[in-house]
């Protein structure tokens, strides 16, 4: 089950469902095949662009999209869900979300979408318009919020450079928060003060203790430990096939297999 994280490339005030304004011919086959979606969006004059996905996987576009049928308003961040609605993420949703984040890291780490660190404040979900209930947040359709600057950001001299090990450790922390449906700052008995290495070490010891008591499932314990232990070792690059395979084996597959067991039982496919 490989699902890519949905991307938001700019600040979002509202999200609307699209009603296509058909072209003169009214046929999607008349639209050009899109090979570079980023360049296409940069040259598209209107605020909303419509695309058509052919059955063979070809993407065609673009056409104007009306915005008069609103189905959602704004976003709710994962940080807000964990802080204000603790425990509202279902068991299956926790596996789906963890899987999506892991796959997104593997696919997006070497792109501008995920070139730095990330955490729960940058993961968001659509909020259904006119509804304040917890069920209005679609946990299975996360968005990654990123701010892109016209000029490249230059880190001050001496500041630590983001690397794949720290990004993977951040994933491990998010997996822990998703499992317990609480922000890491609110987990009982966990002290996350000090420098980043001290924080990761504290989280790792806390996870090991919970695992020894049976308070973590096998898949989440294995995935979280692997992510945190990568930070404690030499820096790794997702671009390296051996390391990306290790992430797949130690993080993604255990979560997928455990979810499959929960949904389909021991004989599930």
**Residue 37, domain member (yes or no):** no
Which residues constitute the domain of residue 237? 74-147+161-264
pLDDT score recorded for residue 13: 32
- Residues 137 and 78 sit within 8 Å (Cβ to Cβ): no
Longest dimension (CA), the chain: 66
pTM comes to: 0.71
Asked if residue 25 is part of any domain, the answer here is no
Residue 156 within any structural domain of the chain: no
CATH number for position 104 = 1.10.510
Contact assessment for residue 229 and residue 197, using Cβ atoms and an 8 Å cutoff: no
List, in order, residues 6 or more apart from 13 with CB less than 8 Å away: 74
Q: Which has the closest alpha carbon to 140: 94, 108, 106? A: 94
Q: For residue 1, count other CB atoms closer than 10 A to its CB.
A: 12
Task: Evaluate whether residue 230 is within a structural domain.
Answer: yes
Sequence-distant (≥ 6) Cβ neighbours of residue 31 within 8 angstroms: 23, 52, 60, 61, 62, 63
pLDDT of residue 116: 74
**Can you give the pLDDT at residue 57?**
64
Q: Is residue 58 part of a domain?
A: no
pLDDT reported for residue 134:
45
**Number of Cβ within a 10 Å radius of residue 112:** 11
In a domain, 94, yes or no: yes
Q: Domain for residue 18, yes or no?
A: no
The reply to whether 169 falls in a domain is yes
The helix (H) or strand (E) run that includes residue 59 is: strand 59-77
CB 168 within 8 A of CB 230: yes
Domain count, the chain: 1
Spatial contact of 87 and 181, defined as CB atoms under 8 Å apart: yes
- Nearest-CA neighbor of 113 among 143, 140, 141? 143
pLDDT of residue 130: 59
Per-residue confidence of the chain (269 residues) as pLDDT tens digits?
333 344 433 322 333 333 333 343 457 777 888 877 777 777 776 667 777 767 666 777 777 766 544 556 678 899 999 998 877 899 999 999 999 999 989 888 877 777 778 999 999 988 766 555 545 788 888 888 876 655 555 555 555 555 788 899 999 999 999 999 999 999 999 988 888 889 999 999 999 999 999 999 999 999 999 999 998 777 778 878 898 999 999 999 999 999 999 888 877 55
Sign, Cα dihedral of 206, 207, 208, 210: positive
């Amino acid at each position: 089950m490989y699902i890519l994280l949905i991307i938001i490339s700019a600040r979002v005030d509202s999200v609307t469902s699209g009603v296509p304004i058909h072209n003169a011919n009214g046929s999607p086959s008349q639209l050009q095949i899109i090979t570079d979606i980023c360049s296409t969006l940069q040259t598209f004059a209107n605020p909303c662009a419509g695309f058509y996905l052919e059955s063979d996987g070809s993407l065609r576009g673009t056409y104007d999209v009306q915005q008069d049928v609103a189905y959602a308003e704004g976003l709710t961040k994962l940080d807000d869900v964990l802080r204000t609605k603790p425990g509202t993420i279902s068991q299956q949703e926790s596996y789906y979300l963890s899987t999506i984040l892991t796959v997104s890291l593997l696919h997006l780490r070497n792109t501008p979408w995920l070139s730095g660190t990330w955490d729960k404040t940058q993961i968001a979900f659509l909020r259904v318009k006119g509804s304040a209930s917890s069920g209005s947040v679609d946990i299975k359709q996360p968005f990654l919020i990123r701010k892109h600057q016209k000029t490249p950001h230059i880190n001050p001299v001496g500041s630590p450079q983001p690397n794949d090990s720290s990004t993977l450790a951040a994933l491990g922390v998010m997996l822990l928060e998703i499992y317990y449906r609480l922000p890491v700052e609110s987990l009982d008995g966990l002290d996350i003060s000090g420098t980043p290495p001290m924080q990761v070490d504290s989280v790792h010891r806390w996870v090991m203790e919970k695992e020894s008591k049976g308070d973590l499932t096998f898949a989440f314990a294995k995935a979280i430990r692997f992510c945190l232990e990568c930070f404690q070792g030499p820096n790794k690059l997702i671009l390296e096939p051996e390391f990306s395979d290790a992430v797949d084996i130690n993080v993604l597959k255990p979560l997928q297999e455990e979810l499959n067991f929960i949904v389909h039982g021991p004989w599930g496919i």
